[in-house]
Amino acid sequence: MRARALHEDVIVLTSALLKVNCVLLRGGVEQQREPAGPLGVIEVPAAGGRAEGAETFVVDSPILPEELEMLPSVLAQAGFPAPSGLLATHADWDHVLAPLAFPGTPLGCAESTASRLRAEPGAAQRELRSVDEELYLDRPRPLGLGAPQALPVPGHLEIGGRRLELHPTGGHTVDGMAILAPWAGVLAVGDYLSPVEIPMLNAGGELGAYLATLERLRPLLGRVEHIVPGHGDVLGSQQAAEVLEEDQAYLRALGERGSEAPLPQGRRSAELRKQHARNVERLEG
């Protein structure tokens, strides 16, 4: 698992599996830029120390058992308080595993995601089990999603007195939200704008809704410094805009030419061609 700080309140963890990104978000720490004392000593809160009123959310999740096990100590070392909430950008199994690391911590998601989880109880658990069986992975406990808390999307969410923006996404699946932290200049989009995947129409996914999501994301890109896709490297605004153009061109071609649609440059591996074939099936089905 790779860790990268994008801001003093934002750390991105990238799982060794599927390059799935987990975002650690902290709000409510007062900026204390006190000048050095006479001895040049600057008071720094001890690792794990809790600034008054600070709050942490964990967005999505890494996948491997040891990566999930490390999450509490990663937070403590960074001086982030234990999470008061877990957020999922959408209900796909590879994004809802944080309750394995923080059982009992409430899971928040878009209403579209909450209703998808209600409509397909146990689906994430079944998919996780089949991946675990395939890769011989053992988990210390079963995945419990509890009763997720539906958040207002579009809307806002308070984190330690700071404010997150929640923007609706959809088209990859039927559900989802993007999370924007304006003070930190970070936008977590879920499974859109990935530099390592082509747009995927999963079950419940829909081409028109996907294109509409890209149009909603477009104006957000210029408001932030870092865009965190569900899978793959963190992007700058310009890079994300380029991925957006390529994804849009691919999806339009997919709608018009089906299997003949060219894949985006640099995203033409055998695995992505298989994904393209699944997209064509989804459209024709």
Report the interface residues with Zn ion, using CB under 5 A: 92, 94, 191, 230
CB of 231 to Zn ion, least distance (A): 6
In the bound state with Zn ion, the residue whose beta carbon lies nearer, of 62 and 148, is 62
Q: Which of 258, 187, 191 is nearest to 222 (CA)?
A: 187
Phi, psi of 239 (to 5 degrees): -60, -45
CB of 200 to Zn ion, least distance (A): 8
For the record, the structure tokens of 7 come out as 């801001």
Q: Which of 84, 222, 105 is nearest to 158 (CA)?
A: 84
In the bound state with Zn ion, the residue whose beta carbon lies nearer, of 55 and 213, is 213
In the bound state with Zn ion, the residue whose beta carbon lies nearer, of 94 and 247, is 94
Beta bridge partners of 147: none
CB of 179 to Zn ion, least distance (A): 15
In the bound state with Zn ion, the residue whose beta carbon lies nearer, of 191 and 247, is 191
Q: How far apart are CA 247 and CA 243, in angstroms?
A: 6
CB of 257 to Zn ion, least distance (A): 26
CB of 135 to Zn ion, least distance (A): 16
In the bound state with Zn ion, the residue whose beta carbon lies nearer, of 96 and 114, is 96
Q: How far apart are CA 145 and CA 252, in angstroms?
A: 36
- 181 contacts 223 by C-beta, under 8 angstroms: no
Write down the H helix ranges in the chain: 65-78, 98-101, 111-119, 123-135, 207-221, 237-257, 270-284
CB of 93 to Zn ion, least distance (A): 8
Q: What is the residue whose two structure tokens read 């990268």? A: 4
CB of 234 to Zn ion, least distance (A): 15
CB neighbours (10 Å) of residue 278?
Answer: 13
Instruction: Report the chain's C-alpha Rg in angstroms.
Output: 19
Q: Which of 95, 124, 109, 123 is nearest to 13 (CA)?
A: 95
